[in-house]
Chains A and B, each alone.
Chain A
Amino acid sequence: MMDGILDLQKKALEELDTIHDRNGLETFRIAYLGKKGLVTTWMKKLSALAPERRPEAGRLANQVKMNVTRCYEEAKERIALQKEKVESFLDVTLPGRRFARGSVHPITKVTQEICRIFVKMGFRIVEGPEVEWDYYNFEALNIPKDHPARDMQDTFYVSDNVVLRTHTSPMEVRVMESQTPPVRIIAPGKVYRRDSDVTHTPMFHQVEGLLVDKGISFSDLKGTLTSFVHQMFGYETALRFRPSFFPFTEPSAEVDIRCVICKGKGCRTCSNTGWLEILGSGMNDPAIYKFVGYDPEVYSGFAFGMGIERVAMLKYGIDDIQLFYKNDMRFLRQF
């Protein structure tokens, strides 16, 4: 008989461990602790015992009832806690209520980056007209009307002597005309050429740079532009200076960087040369000093210019120049 109650306790406690919800718990309560429950029923049987055995059996039975009741209460608490935990679950992986960000055009981004580098080197940003006198765009840059160098750029004309500037170089003349040396300027802006195909857009962007001072040498040009290339494309980027021709610089130098796509092995982007043209530059030709009244025996300096689209294409690996002006959000949102 005594063993019976202990078996009952064991069975009850084992069953409790398997209960995980309120319904199960209620069923348990009714089954064991309810008015007709097993524990209650068993206690009722105590009266049938011999009187001398009753006290001990009563103690034991009470002990069992208390144990089962306590464990039941614990299970109740455990189940309530568990329920609370599930019901108040916060899914931290749900998307947040975002503040939508916009995007800056990649041309703007690259222009800002180029300007930042040169401003750090003491250059001042200037701007000028996009519709320009033939004089500033050509004549004063040593490109007279009947010079073959005019063939290098296809020009949009507004009138006989007004053009859409074909490069940012007119800013060199405008700045020198308005101030005496030393000069250190950088001039970003839109330029226009009458050319539209897979690799050309009729409008694009350039940055022009000009430095005039006493004692400036070709080696200073190399240093300044080497530093720029390193800051823009990384210090491991190899570069080379190659003779070229611009009517307003002498000597003139084209600056090539190691192809960023193939690292010099030769690919379609670099036409298998391993090099990419990135900048035009040169020492200021004394002929342009004549137009602005600088003395070439006292002052020397250099100028450079680069196409921003080209820099952006290389920097971001963009393979189609037309994308810059289609304003497709799938493109713009990447920057």
Chain B
Amino acid sequence: MRVSLNWLKDFVDLEMSVDDLGEVLTMAGLEVESREPLGGSLQDVVAGKIVSVRSHPSSEKALFLCDVDSGHGIFQVVCGAPNVEVGMVAPIALPGATLPGGLKVKESRIRGEMSVGMLLAEDEMGLTDDHMGLMVLPADLAPGASVVDALCLDDSAFEIAITPNRADCASVIGIAREIAALTGQSLRRPHIRFKEGDRPINSLTSVTINDPGGCPRYAAGMVLGVELKPSPFWIRYRLFISGIRAISNVVDVTNYVLLELGQPLHAFDYDRLVENRIVVRRAKKGESFTTLDGKTHSLNSENLLICDAQRAVALAGIMGGLNSEIYQGSKNVLVESAFFDPVTIRRGSKALGISTEASYRFERGIDIEGVVAALKRSLMLMSDLAGGEVVNGIIDNYPSPHHRPLIEFSADKTNRFLGTTLSGGTMARYLSALGMEVEREDENTFQVKPPAFRVDITRDWDLMEEIARLEGYQRIPVTFPPIRASEELDPPEIFLGDKVRALMVEMGFAEVISYSFISPECADRLQTPKESPVRSFVGLLNPLTVEQSVMRTTLIPGLMAALGTNFAYGEKDLKCFEWGRLFLAQGGEQLPGEKYAFAAVMSGLAIRKTWHSEERPVDFYDIKGALEGFLDGLGLSSCAFKRGQTPPWYRPQAAALVTLKGIVLGTVGELAKEVVKSFDLDETRVFAFELDGSLLLDHAFPETFFKPLAKFPAAIRDVSLVVGKDVECDGIQKIIEREGGELLESVSLFDLYEGGKIGPAEKALAFRICYRSKETTLEGRDINVLHERIIGKLGKETGARLRES
């Protein structure tokens, strides 16, 4: 809410600087978001009396040459305002002045005529949005008098954030009341006094409430014979500062009182109400209604309506209707001041998508006991500004008056809860300052009745918060809760996640974090078939864009996007990974499945050109090597890589399943060309793996047992075999291990050779086999027998033959 400081001063004396006031409000929970001096830049604007007016000789537009007495001499000013006339007193900015918005006033020639300074309209001074003509100052204002002083413009605007619980502060009086309580000042209530005519209101209208739940109180008053015209400057100025457009005196009064007292009001044209009476009821389903902004809405029973004898005339608490609004010819006005049920107004306003100053306040809860005072304040202002006669009495339909809660309050409990040592007297003083009725049973126990406008206070905890606020949070001591030992372990996901990151960072990968939502089209880019689980998306009902409309079922799209970001500025040698959740639709009445996944990608060069190495592009064995290194870090070096049902986004020739004891932990491979292309990464080879986080959780970190160190020497034998190209290395190793039995300690591939003397469908694999016995030193003869047998088996099972040297 934006309010003028001078308006606040109508109700409370401020004996502190503007800075200090901002601090006091902020530290009491009314956060001052910004503060802006008003009128400050008008120091150089003075009253100017227009001595003569002539037509501008060389302008087809209506321009005038005015001689203006500025108090410092008479100057000629060129002016286009239609209302300029001799004898008028208007604000003038002399050369050298800077206007709000930064315009510097200079002596200048306008169409050949000198213009010394500028006569001003209200909007040019930033006071209102009025640009109809020059601002008219009081005729008795001496030329040269300061406009700031004359109009009391030495003012500031405060933008205050009102939290949803403090509905009572959505008004000038509410904030003033808070300032009074915080500073120990007393609050001045607005002046309400007016003359009533003889005609009793009951002879002119009636109010019927058919839905007392939705409308617990409805008060109405009337002014007859009003004259519609613009409001005086001071009203328009205050409305403007608070962001409300001035319309006419009658309507402006309702808005002025809304801002001042927080009570939304509505002015009806009495003569346009059929049978001149008011009925409050729920809308019927499908009923349509046109609000005063000209929009037609289809209603349902959520909406509360204000009607006349025949038809709806306003959306209760939200907006008036086109059919009954005040217009230039309105003569007689019926003013509504009501309390509507917050939930009803909120639902209605949400359903129609209309939020207004009125609905904002009703939703949060207004002061039900302030309904009549606000009505009377508006009747007074209306008769002051628009003339006319206030009719005798008001209608106040209030079937079951509000009961304020009575709260039992304990000072001891409050001190324990806050960690303070305040006396009962201090607490009682704080509560009274906030308008609570406090009845002290003894030093410790009070009965407290909060005022009706404090809709947020119903329990003793609510009162404790008020005590803390008035004492000041800064003055509450600083203590520590006792430390308790905990036996509980942190979740394994956290532990594993940190381990994953540490391992990948060691291997040179950068962690990325992608949005959890992706485009459903990603499933197409990944070439997944219709029934693929990748497509069982959890969708959002109200996504921001289609690109972020479903929850991810794989981490690959996010990583591809990360590659794209970096490709865009020319960085193509990339290694990155992500550890995050996937979301899987479950159907039925349950939350989607969420499980961690882990994926990494590599692209570009594995090794860049340096002074010691030649460059080399990434290939399958780089990503596989990273994955092996990673698995080893989790104690899963026994994982195997197998051909099988790998996802469609891989190039089938270069993809494998990662398995552990027959369980598929994930997949690894080179992404298919078309897939890479569909993510706008042309001409690039991308290698990736993705693992199931929950399976990793199940199997990672197997228990470790120590193996005794070898006591006897090993015998090393190398063997070079020629096999068909399609014979897998792993199969050969398995045979060697199987045949080697107890005596085989390890076998490793140390060379791969293709071409040359080796046929095009063949390759040569060289293995180093390490034999060792746990009991004895092996004899060369024994090893040779075993070694020959292994070679024999390999020949039989795989067609391998020894490579001729």
Interface-central residue, B473, B476, B485, B592, by most chain A CB under 10 Å: B473
With A126-B491, A211-B481, A250-B461 as known contacts, state yes or no: A131 contacts B591, CB within 8 Å. Answer: yes
Which of the residues B342, B469, B483, B511 comes within 8 Å of A121, measured between beta carbons? Answer: B483
Q: A144-161: which residues lie under 8 A (CB-CB) from chain B?
A: 146-149, 151-152, 156-159
A137 to chain B, nearest CB (A): 11
With A101-B508, A242-B29 as known contacts, state yes or no: A217 contacts B419, CB within 8 Å. Answer: yes
Q: Compute how far the CA of A263 lies from the CA of B488 in the bound complex, rounded to whole angstroms.
A: 40
Q: Contact between A245 and B163 (Cβ–Cβ < 8 Å)?
A: yes
Q: Compute how far the CA of A218 lies from the CA of B419 in the bound complex, rounded to whole angstroms.
A: 6
Which of the residues A125, A182, A324 comes within 8 Å of B484, measured between beta carbons? Answer: A182
Chain B residue nearest to A119 in the complex (CB): B490
The residues of A that contact B479 with a CB separation of less than 8 Å are 217, 219-220, 222-223
| A-B contacts at CB below 8 angstroms, number | 228
Is B504 in the interface zone, CB < 8 Å from A? yes
Is A122 in the interface zone, CB < 8 Å from B? yes
With A147-B164, A245-B29 as known contacts, state yes or no: A224 contacts B481, CB within 8 Å. Answer: yes
Q: Compute how far the CA of A133 lies from the CA of B26 in the bound complex, rounded to whole angstroms.
A: 35
The residues of B that contact A152 with a CB separation of less than 8 Å are 164
Q: Contact between A326 and B551 (Cβ–Cβ < 8 Å)?
A: no
A30 to chain B, nearest CB (A): 42
- One of B110-118, B399-407, B513-521 at the interface: B513-521
Is B583 in the interface zone, CB < 8 Å from A? yes
- One of B267-275, B569-577, B666-674, B703-711 at the interface: B569-577
Q: Compute how far the CA of A122 lies from the CA of B481 in the bound complex, rounded to whole angstroms.
A: 10
Q: Contact between A151 and B164 (Cβ–Cβ < 8 Å)?
A: yes
Which of the residues B26, B566, B613 comes within 8 Å of A242, measured between beta carbons? Answer: B26
Contact with B along A90-103 (1 / 0, CB 8 A): 00001101011111
Chain A residue nearest to B513 in the complex (CB): A105
Chain A residue nearest to B541 in the complex (CB): A157
Is A9 in the interface zone, CB < 8 Å from B? no
With A158-B538, A218-B418, A327-B565 as known contacts, state yes or no: A104 contacts B501, CB within 8 Å. Answer: yes
A152 to chain B, nearest CB (A): 7
Q: Contact between A127 and B493 (Cβ–Cβ < 8 Å)?
A: yes
Which of the residues B29, B486, B592, B594 comes within 8 Å of A158, measured between beta carbons? Answer: B592
Which of the residues B417, B515, B575 comes within 8 Å of A102, measured between beta carbons? Answer: B575
Contact with A along B505-541 (1 / 0, CB 8 A): 1111111111111000000000000000000001111
Contact with B along A242-278 (1 / 0, CB 8 A): 1111010011111000000000000000010000000
- One of B542-550, B717-725, B756-764 at the interface: B542-550
Contact with A along B336-353 (1 / 0, CB 8 A): 000000110011000000
With A127-B494, A131-B594, A158-B592 as known contacts, state yes or no: A95 contacts B611, CB within 8 Å. Answer: yes
With A253-B473, A327-B513, A328-B566 as known contacts, state yes or no: A102 contacts B504, CB within 8 Å. Answer: yes
With A105-B512, A122-B485 as known contacts, state yes or no: A243 contacts B417, CB within 8 Å. Answer: no
Total residues of chain A contacting the partner, CB 8 A: 86
Is A226 in the interface zone, CB < 8 Å from B? yes
The residues of A that contact B517 with a CB separation of less than 8 Å are 202-203
Is A62 in the interface zone, CB < 8 Å from B? no
Q: B442-477: which residues lie under 8 A (CB-CB) from chain A?
A: 459, 461-462, 464-465, 468-469, 473-474, 476-477
Q: Compute how far the CA of A129 lies from the CA of B591 in the bound complex, rounded to whole angstroms.
A: 9
Is B787 in the interface zone, CB < 8 Å from A? no
Which of the residues B34, B461, B469, B474 comes within 8 Å of A286, measured between beta carbons? Answer: B461
Q: A199-238: which residues lie under 8 A (CB-CB) from chain B?
A: 202-203, 211, 213, 215-220, 222-224, 226-227
Q: Contact between A131 and B484 (Cβ–Cβ < 8 Å)?
A: no
Q: Compute how far the CA of A226 lies from the CA of B490 in the bound complex, rounded to whole angstroms.
A: 24
Q: Compute how far the CA of A217 lies from the CA of B468 in the bound complex, rounded to whole angstroms.
A: 12
B773 to chain A, nearest CB (A): 37
Contact with A along B150-170 (1 / 0, CB 8 A): 000000000000011110000
With A245-B163, A326-B565 as known contacts, state yes or no: A203 contacts B516, CB within 8 Å. Answer: yes
Is B363 in the interface zone, CB < 8 Å from A? yes
Which of the residues A119, A157, A226, A327 comes within 8 Å of B542, measured between beta carbons? Answer: A157
Is A50 in the interface zone, CB < 8 Å from B? no
Contact with A along B12-49 (1 / 0, CB 8 A): 00000000000000111101011000000000000000
Q: Compute how far the CA of A300 lies from the CA of B481 in the bound complex, rounded to whole angstroms.
A: 11
Chain A residue nearest to B344 in the complex (CB): A146
Which of the residues B342, B416, B509, B592 comes within 8 Å of A215, measured between beta carbons? Answer: B416
Which of the residues B468, B488, B505, B540 comes within 8 Å of A101, measured between beta carbons? Answer: B505
Which of the residues B164, B514, B611 comes within 8 Å of A149, measured between beta carbons? Answer: B164
The residues of B that contact A146 with a CB separation of less than 8 Å are 342-343, 346-347
A222 to chain B, nearest CB (A): 5
Is B561 in the interface zone, CB < 8 Å from A? yes
Chain B residue nearest to A186 in the complex (CB): B490
Is B610 in the interface zone, CB < 8 Å from A? yes
Is A112 in the interface zone, CB < 8 Å from B? yes
Q: Compute how far the CA of A304 lies from the CA of B165 in the bound complex, rounded to whole angstroms.
A: 19
Is A172 in the interface zone, CB < 8 Å from B? no
The residues of A that contact B785 with a CB separation of less than 8 Å are none
A312 to chain B, nearest CB (A): 11
Q: Contact between B473 and A124 (Cβ–Cβ < 8 Å)?
A: no
Chain A residue nearest to B465 in the complex (CB): A251
Q: Compute how far the CA of A300 lies from the CA of B460 in the bound complex, rounded to whole angstroms.
A: 14
Q: Could you tell me which A residues sit within 8 Å of B by CB distance?
A: 94-95, 97, 99-105, 107-108, 112, 115, 119, 121-122, 124-127, 129-133, 146-149, 151-152, 156-159, 162, 164, 182, 184, 190, 192, 194, 196, 202-203, 211, 213, 215-220, 222-224, 226-227, 240-245, 247, 250-254, 271, 283, 285-286, 296, 300, 324-330, 332-333
Q: Could you tell me which B residues sit within 8 Å of A by CB distance?
A: 26-29, 31, 33-34, 163-166, 342-343, 346-347, 363-364, 416-420, 459, 461-462, 464-465, 468-469, 473-474, 476-486, 488, 490-491, 493-494, 498, 501, 504-517, 538-544, 548, 551, 561-562, 565-566, 569, 571, 574-577, 581, 583, 591-592, 594, 610-613
Can you list 6 A-B contacts (CB < 8 A)? A103-B505, A217-B419, A218-B476, A271-B33, A325-B513, A327-B566
Since A158-B540, A253-B473 are in contact, a sample of 17 more A-B pairs with Cβ atoms closer than 8 Å, ordered by chain A residue number, is A95-B610, A95-B611, A102-B506, A119-B490, A121-B483, A130-B594, A146-B347, A194-B544, A202-B544, A217-B416, A217-B479, A218-B417, A242-B473, A286-B461, A325-B514, A327-B562, A329-B571
